[in-house]
Amino acid sequence: MSTAIDSFLAMMAAERGAAPNTLAAYRRDLEGSEDAVGDLLAAGRDDLLSLSGEWASLAPSTVARKISALRQFYGFCVDEGLRKDDPATALPRPQTRRPLPKVLSHDEVERMFTQVEKEAGEGKPNAIRLLALFELLYGSGLRASELVSLHVSAVPRDAPFLTITGKGGQQRMVPVSRRAQSAIARWVEVRPDGSKHLFPSRTGHISRIRLYQMVKELAARADIDPAKVSPHVLRHAFATHLLEGGADLRVLQTLLGHADIATTQIYTHVDSARLVALVNERHPLAGGQRGG
């Protein structure tokens, strides 16, 4: 069975550009299902339906992900002639709602900036590094994995852009604010030499887990509940506050590196007040007047 899973994952990597974390998640889901029902290539519709009992305690979003993995796996098996039928058609299509992202207020972000700038002002390399990381998380909306793995070569000297390799190996250009450029320049001056990574560690680059810890610790020092803050929450804040400032949804999609604009649309809920005010102020019927 592992051969079939390996072949499926190889296809996902080669043809769809699935990222390593995505491939690992597919493997866990497929091997977990096989642990429950036995050889997936020999499993029937009833076997797959029995998985509902195994999944009873899981969140709907988790169940939806596992079902998606099985549907794609069996579709691959049929296409490759490994099976003549697709037992995954017996699985339900759960209707899940994407959770609304946590949102930090402008004041909370400002408090964190005040704290990290104060610390960086003392000249310690780790504090200057954190300032550069924080500026890029909130100022450019990078994913944690994109940020920690940045190469020095991704930061051009003569243009306010970063070259980012995102999910599926897709590259995009991300603008960098003057503040972030200044913070990066300060970090480069004190950064250890000898690594291709902008934020190096002894074994390569700093990890996502370490970035997560640093952001939580900064929030606590700024008297903000650490449970509210993470690198991904700062990415959400970047998107939310841009929309509040009038950014176009398609532009935001490009900046965030979303393949599907439906993913970007999750942010529109936070901007409802501004949209209502826009209609009330700018619509031809505003103020009781009709357009010509």
Clarify whether residues 43 and 156 are in a common domain: no
CB 173 within 8 A of CB 162: yes
Q: Would residue 235 show up in a list of annotated catalytic residues for this protein?
A: yes
Q: Would residue 267 show up in a list of annotated catalytic residues for this protein?
A: yes
Catalytic residue among 83, 129, 143, 216: 143
CATH number at residue 71: 1.10.150.130
The answer to whether residue 22 is domain-embedded is yes
Rg, the chain, Cα only: 23
Last residue of a domain, one of 66, 90, 114: 90
Clarify whether residues 80 and 158 are in a common domain: no
What sign for the dihedral angle of Cα 78, 84, 85, 88? negative
The answer to whether residue 233 is domain-embedded is no
d(CA 62, CA 52): 12
Clarify whether residues 82 and 124 are in a common domain: no
Tens of each residue's pLDDT in the chain, 292 residues: 568 888 889 888 887 777 888 889 899 999 888 888 888 888 888 888 888 888 888 887 788 888 888 988 988 888 888 888 888 888 877 655 555 556 788 899 999 999 999 999 999 999 999 999 999 888 888 888 888 988 888 877 766 777 777 666 677 778 888 888 899 999 999 998 889 999 999 889 999 899 999 999 999 999 999 988 989 888 888 888 877 777 777 766 767 777 666 666 666 655 555 556 556 766 666 655 554 4
Last residue of a domain, one of 90, 125, 140: 90
Q: Would residue 232 show up in a list of annotated catalytic residues for this protein?
A: yes
Last residue of a domain, one of 60, 90, 120: 90
Taking the model in full, what pTM does it have?
0.59
User: Structural domain tally of the chain?
Assistant: 2
Domain that holds residue 111: 106-228
pLDDT of 99 reads 56
* Tokens, residue 218: 């900064």
Clarify whether residues 179 and 215 are in a common domain: yes
Clarify whether residues 78 and 158 are in a common domain: no
Catalytic residue among 167, 179, 186, 221: 167
Q: Would residue 106 show up in a list of annotated catalytic residues for this protein?
A: no
Burial 162-177 (b: 16+ CB within 10 A, else e): bebbbbeeeeeebebe
The answer to whether residue 276 is domain-embedded is no
- DSSP at 228: G
Catalytic residue among 66, 129, 205, 235: 235
In a 10 Å sphere around its CB, with 0-12 CB exposed, 13-18 middle and 19+ buried, how is residue 59 labelled?
exposed
CATH number at residue 201: 1.10.443.10
Helix 2-16 to helix 60-79 angle (10° resolution) is: 90
d(CA 118, CA 112): 10
pLDDT of 291 reads 47
Clarify whether residues 115 and 220 are in a common domain: yes
Q: Render 233-270 in DSSP notation, one character per residue.
A: HHHHHHHHHHHHTT--HHHHHHHHT-SSHHHHGGGGGG
Clarify whether residues 110 and 219 are in a common domain: yes
Clarify whether residues 129 and 71 are in a common domain: no
d(CA 119, CA 123): 8
